[in-house]
A = this chain, B = another copy of it.
Amino acid sequence: MLDKAKVVSHQIMGDPCYKIMKLVLRTDIAREGQPGQFVHVQVATGLDPLLRRPISIADIDREARELTLLYRIKGKGTEVLAQVKAGERLSLMGPLGHGFTLPEQGELILVAGGIGSFPLLPLAKAARAKTIPVRLYWGGEDEDFFTSAGLGLWQDAGIPVSLSSMDGSIGAKGNVLDLIRENSSGSEAGQGAGCSVAVCGPQVMMKVVSEYFLQTGASVEVSLEERMGCAVGACLGCVCTLKDENSGKIRRGKVCQDGPIFQGKEVLWDYEQ
């Protein structure tokens, strides 16, 4: 759907140095959006920047037709987007891609690195709504980062969260995989088979976390990111490399259309050419 969504609210979250924005939009896209899907946002009406920017759905209120986006100001596109004010309109394409799978049974473990928590939030809420047990392992820089990146939203939703920070200012000191290893020794998390894992964060982190959980026999989904042109599968700008489990055949997957959620076991993380 292409929609001129109305900006309901738009503000910086927490410490401005993290440049994390919360953008709430009123749009019919909220009627259909699923956790893990994204929208393609036209950040400027002119030609600068030219291309739309993909942003994950971070919360959905179907009744109010409200979509929440959380994003970090990174470069020109998000800088321009951050100028948009409540009451103005933004052109959105969406909902795009394939979202996460809600497990039929067993626990759902979410693993986030940095702002990778954003697309996991609606998944956690959906799991909650279906009384699927869910918890989040989340690695980040320091305490202020977590508060600025919406830790409160997770707490409000009543999701158990374990944190690890690089400086040890909150949670365990170290990266998120250390945290998981620590927590899972003996617990069902690490035991594999029955549980489902959803991972989102920097590529290196998703790789190691995915490999770790796959070894335990868990079913793993990862949320990939690539630069996008069309976001509908038409330009082949955003592909990743996949290996068919059975045939071993290597093929490309379109992050925008076949993903951004992929089976961890299919992703070839370091494929070049």
Point out residues on A near B: beta carbons under 8 Å: 44, 46-49, 76, 80
In the bound complex, how far is the Cα of B43 from the Cα of A48, in angstroms? 14
Top 8 nearest A-B pairs (CB, nearest first) are A46-B48, A48-B48, A47-B48, A46-B46, A47-B47, A44-B46, A46-B80, A44-B48
Name the residue of chain B whose CB is nearest to the CB of A46: B48
On chain B, the residues within 8 Å of A80 by CB distance are: 46
Label chain A's interface by main secondary structure. Answer: loop
In the bound complex, how far is the Cα of B46 from the Cα of A48, in angstroms? 6
* Cβ distance A207 to chain B, nearest Cβ, rounded Å: 36
Name the residue of chain B whose CB is nearest to the CB of A76: B46
What are 10 A-to-B residue pairs whose CB atoms are below 8 Å? A44-B46, A44-B48, A46-B46, A46-B48, A46-B49, A46-B76, A46-B80, A47-B47, A47-B48, A48-B48
* Cβ distance A92 to chain B, nearest Cβ, rounded Å: 21
On chain B, the residues within 8 Å of A48 by CB distance are: 44, 46-48
In the bound complex, how far is the Cα of B46 from the Cα of A46, in angstroms? 9
On chain B, the residues within 8 Å of A76 by CB distance are: 46
* Cβ distance A28 to chain B, nearest Cβ, rounded Å: 28
In the bound complex, how far is the Cα of B76 from the Cα of A49, in angstroms? 16
* Cβ distance A45 to chain B, nearest Cβ, rounded Å: 9
- 7 A-B pairs besides A46-B76, A47-B48 with CB distance below 8 A are A44-B46, A44-B48, A46-B46, A46-B49, A46-B80, A47-B47, A48-B48
In the bound complex, how far is the Cα of B44 from the Cα of A46, in angstroms? 10
Name the residue of chain B whose CB is nearest to the CB of A80: B46
In the bound complex, how far is the Cα of B137 from the Cα of A165, in angstroms? 75
On chain B, the residues within 8 Å of A49 by CB distance are: 46
In the bound complex, how far is the Cα of B46 from the Cα of A47, in angstroms? 9
In the bound complex, how far is the Cα of B49 from the Cα of A49, in angstroms? 12
